[in-house]
């Protein structure tokens, strides 16, 4: 029998120490950076590629680290299936493009996140998809538009950045009566505070970049729902190609281990901050679903277990200049465009949720320039209240 010659250093550089399969007893989900997954024979490979056996074939389609992240969100949302994308907008656009065709109609709300709003106003109409955007809190108007016929009813609750609340159960019923797929962006609430599938939604969407990851160090998006629907979103995303990176999936997974702790803390702190701001003379109004005085409070009480970590407030002096003054006096807040992180983050819609829009477009959407979106972190509530008191004091209010 011929003895294999000793492999050359070049071949060993490539193969030595790297087994065909990696079996480890790691207690943490490994970051699998592999672009593809190898098989011992074509039969086995074909079974995996056809989905007849568990496993992965090519990284743009599926990846073990990404699959672990999807499973964690899926179980928290109580869904049959989940799929992910590189960003929140990646999964939202995948869901819309996967489920809509030219000639279809979408009904949604005026207050959806700025990027989503752009899809509705700029991109979907270019593909012959009609979009009806309704006043967010006018449930009768939404129901009328839905009854006129639509393939997708798209909701977000609470909304970014004015925290408007829509009655998901009521509108899901209307959507189903019209034969529509009901999608809900659950980014602000998180599955800790709200589970839209239980309220009747068909597809839950997240910018995992926010509370799910919770540390502002990874972008990601995820959709959960029935397998038949999620499979269509997955298929569009695998071809469109905006797949979640395994390293981002790992960071999101790691962040999510403390999701319940962070969100419970952020719920408590946001309510305290909202109550403080409500009583401050320099503040004209506070947008927070947990305040009894807030328009959406009664619906929020029915459909949410906690009111979330984001609030917004309008200054009496409603100008970008006054906003800039308050923001620059805050010590315990990053002035940045993200939200849902362990550190407090603050900013106006002009540089955050609606930076894609012109001032006139923001005004038409009812988003005041003098609004400050304030996403509480996990700092001590007393310090945040004292910080806001100091910053608002500078207005002389
Ligand atoms: C409610 C909501 N949905 C979707 C998105 C888009 O997510 P991403 O920035 O991860 O694309 C955002 C981003 O701020 C958001 O706030």
Whether 60 is a known active-site residue: answer yes
Whether 17 is covered by a domain: the verdict is no
Q: Residue 330 maps to which CATH number?
A: 3.90.1150.10
Buried-exposed string 160-172: b where 16+ CB fall within 10 A, e elsewhere: bbbbbbbbbebbb
Structural domain boundaries, residue 60 = 42-256
- Given the residues 72, 105, 118, 210, the one annotated as active site: 210
User: Is the Cβ atom of 187 under 6 angstroms away from ligand 1?
Assistant: yes
- Residue 2 resides in a domain: no
Contact 114, 355 (CB under 8 A): yes
pLDDT score at 40: 92
Same-domain status, 54 and 172: yes
- Choosing from 231, 256, 281, the residue where a domain stops is 256
Say if CB 202 and CB 181 are below 8 A apart: yes
Domain-located, residue 249: yes
Ligand 1 close to Cβ of residue 158 (< 6 A): no
- Domain membership of residue 168 (yes or no) is yes
**In a domain? residue 81:** yes
Residues 86 and 218 in one domain: yes
Q: Is the pLDDT of residue 22 over 80?
A: no
Nearest CA to ligand 1 atom 13: 207
- pTM of the entire predicted model: 0.95
- Please state, in angstroms and rounded to a whole number, the distance separating the CA atoms of residues 136 and 143: 11
**Is 9 part of a structural domain of the chain?**
no
Residue 3 falls within a domain, yes or no?
no
pLDDT band for position 397 (cuts 50, 70, 90): very low
Q: What share of the chain is helix, strand, coil (3-state, %, to 5)?
A: 40, 15, 45
**Whether residue 95 is found in the same domain as residue 176:** yes
pLDDT tens per residue across span 79-137 = 999 999 999 999 999 999 999 999 999 999 999 999 999 999 999 999 999 999 999 99
User: What are the tens digits of pLDDT across the range 310-319?
Assistant: 999 999 998 8
Residue 275 tokens, joined: 């109550």
The pLDDT-based confidence of 20 (bands split at 50, 70, 90) is low
> Helix (H, G, I), strand (E, B), or coil: what is residue 328?
helix
Candidate list 113, 154, 236, 288, residue with the active-site label: 113
Q: Mean pLDDT of all residues in the chain? A: 94
Same domain, 93 and 168: yes
Mark whether 185 is an active-site residue.
Answer: yes
Per the model's pLDDT, the better-predicted residue between 273 and 370 turns out to be: 273
Q: So what's the pLDDT on residue 322? A: 93
Q: 353 with 300: CB under 8 angstroms?
A: no
- Kindly state whether residues 136 and 181 are assigned to the same domain: yes
213 and 349 belong to one structural domain: no
Of the residues 60, 144, 254, 334, only one is catalytic, namely 60
161 ligand 1 Cβ < 6 A: no
For residue range 137-191, list pLDDT tens digits in order. Answer: 999 999 999 999 999 999 999 999 999 999 999 999 999 999 999 999 999 999 9
In ligand 1, the atom with minimum distance to the C-alpha of 221 is: 10
Same domain (yes/no): 287, 245: no
- Which letter, b or e, does each residue of 66-105 get, where b requires 16 or more Cβ atoms within 10 Å of its Cβ? bbbbbebbbebbebebbbbbbbbbbbbbbbbbbbbeeebb
Is ligand 1 within 6 A of the CB of residue 160?
Answer: yes
Q: Which of 113, 123, 63 is nearest to 88 (CA)?
A: 113
Q: How far is 96 from 127, CA to CA, in rounded Å?
A: 12
Does 30 reside within a domain?
no
Q: What is the CATH number of the domain that holds 107?
A: 3.40.640.10
Please name which of 67, 56, 57, 63 lies closest in space to residue 33, comparing C-alpha atoms.
63
Residues 315 and 238 in one domain: no
**Which of 256, 281, 298 delimits the end of a domain?**
256
Domain co-membership, 90 together with 148: yes
Number of structural domains, the chain? 2
- Bridge partners (DSSP) of residue 373 are 312, 347
Domain boundary (256, 277, 305) is at: 256
Q: Express each pLDDT in 24-72 by its tens digit.
A: 788 888 999 999 999 999 999 999 999 999 999 999 999 999 999 999 9
Residues 133 and 145 in one domain: yes
Q: Which two tokens stand for residue 118?
A: 């752009």
Q: Note the maximum CA span of the chain.
A: 93
Clarify whether residues 64 and 193 are in a common domain: yes
Tell me: do 289 and 251 sit in the same domain.
Answer: no
Average pLDDT over residues 263-285: 97
């Amino acid at each position: 029998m011929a003895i294999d010659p000793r492999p050359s250093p070049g071949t060993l550089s490539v193969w030595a120490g790297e087994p065909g399969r990696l079996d480890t007893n790691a207690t943490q989900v490994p970051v699998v950076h592999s672009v593809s997954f190898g098989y011992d024979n074509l039969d086995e490979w074909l079974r995996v590629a056809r989905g007849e056996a568990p496993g992965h074939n090519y990284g743009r389609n599926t990846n073990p680290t990404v699959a672990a992240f999807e499973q964690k969100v899926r179980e928290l949302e109580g869904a049959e299936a989940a799929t992910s994308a590189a960003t929140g907008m990646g999964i939202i656009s995948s869901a819309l493009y996967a489920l809509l065709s030219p000639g279809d109609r979408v009904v949604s709300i005026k207050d959806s996140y700025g990027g989503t709003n752009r899809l509705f106003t700029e991109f979907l109409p270019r593909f012959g998809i009609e979009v009806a955007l309704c006043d967010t809190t006018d449930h009768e108007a939404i129901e009328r538009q839905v009854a006129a016929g639509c393939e997708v009813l798209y909701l977000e609750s609470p909304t970014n950045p004015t925290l408007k609340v829509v009655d998901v159960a009521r509108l899901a019923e209307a959507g189903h009566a019209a034969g529509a797929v009901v999608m809900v962006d659950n980014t602000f609430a998180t599955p800790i505070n709200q589970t839209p599938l239980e309220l009747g939604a068909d597809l839950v969407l997240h910018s995992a970049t926010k509370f799910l990851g919770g540390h502002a160090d990874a972008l990601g998006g995820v959709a959960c729902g029935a397998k038949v629907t999620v499979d269509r979103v997955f298929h569009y995303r695998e071809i469109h190609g905006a797949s979640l990176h395994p390293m981002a999936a790992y960071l999101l997974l790691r962040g999510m281990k403390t999701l319940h702790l962070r969100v419970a803390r952020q719920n408590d702190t946001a309510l305290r901050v909202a109550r403080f701001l409500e009583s401050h003379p320099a503040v004209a109004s506070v947008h927070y679903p947990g305040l009894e005085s807030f328009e959406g409070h009664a619906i929020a009480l029915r459909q949410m277990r906690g009111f979330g970590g984001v609030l917004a407030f309008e200054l009496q002096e409603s100008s970008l200049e006054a906003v800039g003054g308050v923001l620059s006096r805050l010590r315990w807040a990053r002035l940045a465009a993200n939200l849902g992180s362990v550190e407090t983050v603050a900013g106006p819609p002009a540089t955050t949720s609606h930076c894609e829009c012109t001032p006139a477009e923001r005004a038409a959407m009812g988003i005041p320039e003098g609004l400050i979106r304030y996403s509480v972190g996990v700092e001590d509530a007393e310090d945040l209240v004292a910080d806001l008191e100091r910053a608002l004091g500078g207005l002389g209010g």
